[in-house]
Amino acid sequence: MENRIAKFEKVSIKQFVSDFNECIGGNVAAARMLYDNIAIPRRATAGSAGYDMITPFYFTLAPGESVKIPTGLRIRMQPGWMLLILPKSGLGSRFRLQLDNTMGLIDSDYYDAANEGHIMVPVTNDSKSGKTLTLEAGKAFVQAVLVPYGITEDDCAEGVRQGGFGSTGV
């Protein structure tokens, strides 16, 4: 059974340039060129659960180094669904590539956040064998999986999201 309940989109160029400069630094012209090449995530096969997300730029991480990747993407989902972000298994096993928050969780209301729901992915090369990770622009580095969730019978949440990345944390 297919559950077509979501759609990936690019954030605005203004949002991408702002977040890119905050996370990576660099000039506006370079960020604008990267924006044009951002690809909408796709599944590799009909049986794949995960949508491959690509890095919009080249990066190298020595063991212990981290970077927050502004993907240039957002996702519109129906209520009752969430998006989980996980490292690509090959990168996880070869380099111990890890998400800094252990697993990314994108809520359905993140789409309307102040940062346009820009999916930012903080990763670390946690290699214990001294391996340096190098990824070219356009290479998959994480996968995104849509998952339904439930709420308790006595749930009474009425809050409305205001902030962006990490905004519901305490």
**What digits encode the pLDDT tens for the residues 92-136?**
888 889 999 888 999 999 999 999 999 999 999 998 899 999 999
**Average pLDDT of the residues in 20-42:** 92
| 147, two tokens | 């998952």
**Average pLDDT of the residues in 64-72:** 96
If pLDDT is split at 50, 70 and 90, which confidence band does 170 have? very low
pLDDT of residue 157: 86
Residue-wise burial string across 34-47, b where 16 or more C-beta atoms lie within 10 A, e elsewhere: bbeebbebeeeeee
Write down the domain spans for the chain.
Answer: 6-148
Whether the per-residue pLDDT at 169 is higher than 70: the answer is no
If pLDDT is split at 50, 70 and 90, which confidence band does 144 have? very high
| pTM as predicted | 0.90
Q: Which residues pair with 67 in a beta bridge?
A: 123
Fold of the domain built from segment(s) 6-148: Deoxyuridine 5'-Triphosphate Nucleotidohydrolase; Chain A (2.70.40)
How confident is the model over 32-55, as pLDDT tens digits?
999 999 999 999 999 999 999 999
Whether 125 and 64 have beta carbons less than 8 Å apart is answered as yes
DSSP label of 21: H
